[in-house]
Amino acid sequence: MNASQRPRINPYIAVVLATLSISTSAIWVRLADAPAAVTAFYRLFFSTLFMAPFLYKHIGEFRSMTRKSVLWCALAGICLAFHFILWFQSLAYTSVASSVVLVTIQPIFAFAGSVLFFKTRLRLYAVVGALCAISGSVLIGWGDFGTSRAALYGDVLALVACLLITVYLMVGQEVRKDMELYAYTLLVYAFAALALFLFVLVSRQALFNHAPKDWLMFLLLAVFPTLLGHSVYNWSVKWVGVNTLSMTILGEPVGSSILAYIFFGETLGPLQLAGSLVILTGIFLYLMGESKTKARKKPSALSSSTQT
């Protein structure tokens, strides 16, 4: 990499800061008094609004899009919209730590989706990781059921939200092969905001009569976890790679739990703590195995290309 290609900011520092930004998401949601769908709508609406001024620089990306790509973006946006509704709602019932940990088992759902839809071969590390994640989820659910049935309901909402974000990411993985980052991100955010807007209208929830604190939370959700979080991840992947970014998913529950203790005095019960550690161990084993598998494939791909 020559000097002109080097980023001005160390990408690894950027990834750490992005993880910290994403860890604040559950805190801003919990501090907002607005309904989950309204909070989700304004998060994506403001994110789209902040991205819109740069549209003139990327107009060519939209001209080259196909109708099929737009439809896939719409599907991704709808999945993202209802992921936020369910996850935000889960935070009203269960602890921040339980909700965030359950949402972060996304790599395991992605593995299951790859096996079911793309006929990916079962690998030992993936099976062990999946079993750990399932076992950890059961422990968290059991611990929360001992607290209240409402907490268990919140856990179920978080798991469904995790399933939706997995579909969103799998769709994005396919669509991004033919679409540039800016066009894809802006379209998905716009479709998600539109879906949430319609949902809020149909369910007759108030769009405007909210306290100043809520408006501040809406802006913080757009700026920190979305633009300074996910957008920075999308920027840094060019230099640090997908595997490194995938590993940072383990940092979000830790950061969120620390912030939840500071803001709300939340602590983890024995079963919640054990379940969280089991889930994070399972994800760690899965991602390490995935990293080693890809590392082994690279030399073979290189040797085959030199023989042709």
Convert the pLDDT of each residue in 85-119 to its tens digit.
999 999 999 989 889 888 877 777 777 777 777 66
pLDDT > 70 fraction of the chain, expressed in percent and rounded: 87
Q: How confident is the model at residue 281 (pLDDT cuts 50, 70, 90)?
A: confident
Q: Say how far apart CA 97 and CA 56 lie, in whole Å.
A: 41
Instruction: Answer whether residue 4 shows pLDDT above 70.
Output: no
Instruction: Give me the pLDDT at residue 3, please.
Output: 47
Q: Say how far apart CA 171 and CA 74 lie, in whole Å.
A: 10
Q: How confident is the model at residue 246 (pLDDT cuts 50, 70, 90)?
A: low
Instruction: Answer whether residue 217 shows pLDDT above 80.
Output: yes
The widest CA-to-CA distance across the chain, in whole angstroms, is: 67
Lookup result for tokens 């990499």: 1
List, for residues 154-212, the tens digit of each pLDDT value. 999 999 999 998 889 888 878 888 888 899 999 999 999 999 999 999 999 999 999 99
Average pLDDT (9-30) is 90
Query: Which pair of tokens denotes residue 283?
Result: 């994800």
Asked whether the beta carbons of 222 and 46 are under 8 A apart, the reply is yes
Instruction: Answer whether residue 294 shows pLDDT above 70.
Output: no
Instruction: Answer whether residue 290 shows pLDDT above 80.
Output: no
> Would you list the domain boundaries of the chain?
11-302
| 123 or 1: which leads in pLDDT | 123
- Tell me, what DSSP letter sits at residue 244? H
Instruction: Answer whether residue 25 shows pLDDT above 70.
Output: yes
Asked whether the beta carbons of 40 and 81 are under 8 A apart, the reply is yes
Instruction: Give me the pLDDT at residue 255, please.
Output: 85
Instruction: Give me the pLDDT at residue 268, please.
Output: 77
Asked whether the beta carbons of 260 and 95 are under 8 A apart, the reply is yes
